[in-house]
Amino acid sequence: MKNILRVALPPIFTAIALLVVWEIAVMVFKPAAYLLPSPLMILRAANVDSRQLLQATLSTAISAGLGFIIAAVVGMTCASVLSQSKFLQRGLYPLASLFQMVPLVAIAPLLVIWFGYGLSATVASAAIVAVFPVLANTLDGLRSTDPALRELFHIYNANRFTRWWKLELPSATPNIVTGLRIAAGLAVIGTVVGEFVSGYAGEDAPLGMVVLASMRGARTDLVFAAVALSAAVGFVLFGAVSFLGWLSLRKWHASTLIH
C-alpha cells in the first residue's frame, strides 16, 4: 500500500497543481469561454449533461474494449503463426509493418463504406491501430526465447506446440504485456478517430460525436469534458491491462519490481 501511494501520489499532486494554475489563469486573464473554459466551468457543464456524457463514455469504452480484445487475439495469434515459420515471417511481416504506416484517418472512411455507420466501424478502427504493437511485440518475444531453453525442450522431445505453449509464450509474456499496454491506449485513439468519421447521433452517441457536435455549437467546455472522458477510458483500459500484466509477471520478472 505504501509503495502504491509512493508511485501514485506525485502524478496526482502534479495534476491537481496544473488544474489550479489553469483555474487561476482563467480567473486572471478572462479569455472568452469558447476559447478556454476553466476546469470548474468544464466540470459544471459536464454535470449538466452528465447522462449524455456517461452514455457516450460507455459507447466509446465498449468500442475501444472490443477493438482491443480483437487486436490482442488477432495480434497474438498471427505472431504465434509467424514465429513458427521463417518463410511466412519473411513474406508477411514486412507487409504488416507497411500496413502500420497507412494513416488510420485516411482509411477510416473506407471502414464506414465496409462496415456502415455505427459500432462495427469504430471497433474495426480501434482494432486496426491496436493490432500492430501486439503483433510486433509478441513476435519479438517469441523469437527471443533463450536458445538454451529451446534446446532443453528439444532434449525432452517436446513438439512444436508444446514448445510454443510451455516455453515460447511464457517467456514472451513481458513483451506481450508491453504490446498490450501500447495497444490499450491506441484502441481508444482508434475508436475516437472512427467515431469522427462514422459516429452516429442520437441517445448513445459516443464521445467522438460529442466532441464534433459540441465543437459545432461552440461548447468548448463540453469538448474538454469529452476529451477528458476519452482519456479516462484509455487510462482505465491501460490500467487494467497493466494490472493483469503485473499479475502474470510478478512472481518472476524483474520489470514488476517497484523501485
Partner 1 sequence: MRDAIGVHVRGVSHKFAGANVIDHADVQVKPGGFLAIVGDSGGGKTTLLRLIGGLIAPSSGEIVFMAGGESDSQSDHAPRGQSAVAAAQANAISFCFQEGRLLPWRNVLQNVALPLELNGVSAQERHTAAREMLAKMQLSDSEHKMPAQLSGGMRMRVAMARALVTRPKLLLLDEPFGALDEVTRLALDEELRQLWQQTGTTAILVTHSIQEAVSLAQQVVVMRGKPGRTLPAIVIDVPKDAAHRTSMPFVALCERVYQQMTMQTNEVVEVTR
Q: Which is nearer to partner 1, 9 or 149 (CB)?
A: 149
| CA gap 248, 177 in Å, rounded | 9
* Number of residues binding to partner 1, judged by CB under 8 A: 20
Identify the residue among 151, 202, 216, 259 touching partner 1 (CB under 8 A): 151
Q: Give every CB contact of residue 134 below 8 A, 6+ residues apart in sequence.
A: 71, 72, 74, 75, 76, 79, 176, 179, 180, 183
Binding characters for partner 1, 161-200, by CB under 8 A (x = yes): -x---xx--xx-x---------------------------
Residue 84 DSSP one-character state: T
Cα three-residue angle 247-253-257, rounded to 5 degrees: 80
Q: Does 157 bind partner 1 (CB under 8 A)?
A: yes
Would you list the DSSP string of 44-62? HHHHHTHHHHHHHHHHHHH
In 3D, which of 190, 195, 189 has the Cα closest to residue 213? 195
Q: Does 152 bind partner 1 (CB under 8 A)?
A: yes
Would you list the DSSP string of 10-44? HHHHHHHHHHHHHHHHHHHH---TTT---HHHHHH
Q: Which is nearer to partner 1, 74 or 158 (CB)?
A: 158
Point out which span in 8-16, 53-61, 68-76, 248-256 binds partner 1 (CB under 8 A): 248-256
Residues from 35 through 94 that contact partner 1 (CB under 8 A): none
Identify the residue among 148, 161, 258, 259 touching partner 1 (CB under 8 A): 148
Q: Which is nearer to partner 1, 36 or 158 (CB)?
A: 158
The distance of closest approach from Cβ of residue 44 to partner 1 in the complex, given in angstroms and rounded to an integer, is 50
Q: Does 158 bind partner 1 (CB under 8 A)?
A: yes
Q: Which is nearer to partner 1, 174 or 190 (CB)?
A: 174
| CA gap 229, 219 in Å, rounded | 16
Q: Does 246 bind partner 1 (CB under 8 A)?
A: no
**Phi, psi of 250, deg, nearest 5:** -60, -30
Identify the residue among 8, 110, 149, 201 touching partner 1 (CB under 8 A): 149
In 3D, which of 4, 44, 93, 67 has the Cα closest to residue 206? 67
The distance of closest approach from Cβ of residue 183 to partner 1 in the complex, given in angstroms and rounded to an integer, is 22
| CA gap 66, 31 in Å, rounded | 40
Give the footprint of partner 1 on this chain (CB under 8 A): 146, 148-149, 151-158, 162, 166-167, 170-171, 173, 251-253
